[in-house]
Amino acid sequence: MSTQQPLRAEDIAPEFRQQIFKQDYSKKPTIDGVRIVDLPSFSDDGGYFLELTRFVTGHPTAFPDFELKQMNYSEMDPGVVKAAHLHFQQEDIWFVPPTQKLLIGLMDCRDTSPTKGMKMRFVMGAKKAKLLYIPRGVAHGAANLWQRPAAIIYFVNNVFDADPEKTDEHRLPWDVFGADFWEIQKG
């Protein structure tokens, strides 16, 4: 319990007293036609997922055969590994903001591919702006090995369906790339 007495306006130094005002917390009017939409987000112990928007039609110029159906935002907390998953019906285009950094892992799981079983390991973000196209059947994941949250903004050509019977989210064990794949390389 505080023994201090409440302050009065006269207790504030004169050079500040005339600048004091109360902030207005009342609901503000909106411009006709303007809408603010709350977006659904989903949290887990490794970060959160936020669906930004879905598209009826759309083709990115860099990938003209890719019909954009949904755009997503995913944030990863420091120390988190999210791997590995693949899709049978969907391709992804990933973007990691240049001000952030994620370790990316890919592995070709397609039986008839000339690069079957091949793995790729590289960093995205890290002061470079790149898009990553991930074909269906290529397992993919990411690790945030650094000290602050990092994001992936990604575009997909299939609308997400959480129904277990319909989802195109197929998982593999996190260490399918190798037990030390997600560690910072020493030396």
Q: Tell whether pTM > 0.85.
A: no
Q: What pLDDT does residue 36 have?
A: 59
> Which residues of the chain carry a pLDDT beneath 50?
none
Residue with tokens 């790149």: 130
Q: What pLDDT does residue 179 have?
A: 85
Q: What pLDDT does residue 62 have?
A: 83
If you write DSSP's letter for every residue of 23-83 in order, what string do you get?
---SPPP--TT----PPPEEEETTEEEEEEEE-SS---TT-TT----EEEEEEE-TT-EEE
What does each C-alpha distance from 125 to 83, 101, 145, 152 come to in angstroms? Answer: 18, 5, 13, 9
* Bridge partners (DSSP) listed for residue 43: 48
Q: What pLDDT does residue 75 have?
A: 96
Within 10 A of 107 (CB to CB), how many other CB atoms are there? 23
If you write DSSP's letter for every residue of 118-187 in order, what string do you get?
-EEEEEEETT---EEEE-TTEEEEEE--SSS-EEEEEEESS-----TTT---EE--TTTT-TTTTSPPP-
What domains sit in the chain, N to C, each tagged with a CATH number?
A: 30-171 (2.60.120.10)
- Summarised one tens digit per residue, pLDDT across range 76-123 is 999 999 999 999 999 999 999 999 999 999 999 989 998 999 899 989
User: How big is the CA angle at 26 (ends 25 and 31), to the nearest 5 degrees?
Assistant: 115
